[in-house]
Amino acid sequence: MSPSETDRPATVDATGLRELIDSGHAPRLLDVRTPAEFETSHIPGSYNVPLDLLKEHREELRRHLDEDVVLICRSGARATQAEQTLAGVGLPKLKVLDGGILAWQAANAPIRQGTPRWDLERQVRLVAGSIVLVSILGSVFVPQLKWVAGLIGAGLTVAAVTNTCAMGMVLGKLPYNRGATCDLDTIVGQLRDSTGERA
């Protein structure tokens, strides 16, 4: 087995996860998208633990996650980062939902809908595209502005190669993408209350 194959997280597809949930042996579902994305739509019974909060408080969260865990995001990229973070603190039995919430919705699996908002990836495309457009148009008057477009292009290239996105992390901190219950104490309280009603 090549090193790249051993670095890949274990995955579960939408059908397999649905069967686990329906069988009564549901794993703990952690949705690592922003609170706004989570409020727009999420798998019933999942907990919202945004990726930046998970990375910052992984040790604390580790103490409340000892069973099977499935990590969820839009398409799988952020969930893979979350898997690497939690695996680094010794959490066993981690899986990533293959294809993320998009695959779950495509499989017509149960989803809880809320107020529609733009997902983080769409916001990044809007902001990056707008900066490039404005800098190219502005370079007619101030030629040095063309370098701003070049920097954005370089940033998007690095984001693709490293499977991370600095612009996405910054946008995720904006009030539009934050929710009222997006704090460590609330999340830990929800995780502790295994007998309570899930979100």
Residues labelled as active-site residues: 73
Angle at the Cα of 93 from the Cα atoms of 15 and 120, rounded to 5 degrees: 65
Q: Which two tokens stand for residue 195?
A: 């007998």
DSSP state of 152: H
Report which of 18, 40, 62, 195 is spatially closest to residue 122, judged by C-alpha positions. Answer: 40
Contact 88, 58 (CB under 8 A): yes
d(CA 39, CA 67): 25
Contact 187, 53 (CB under 8 A): yes
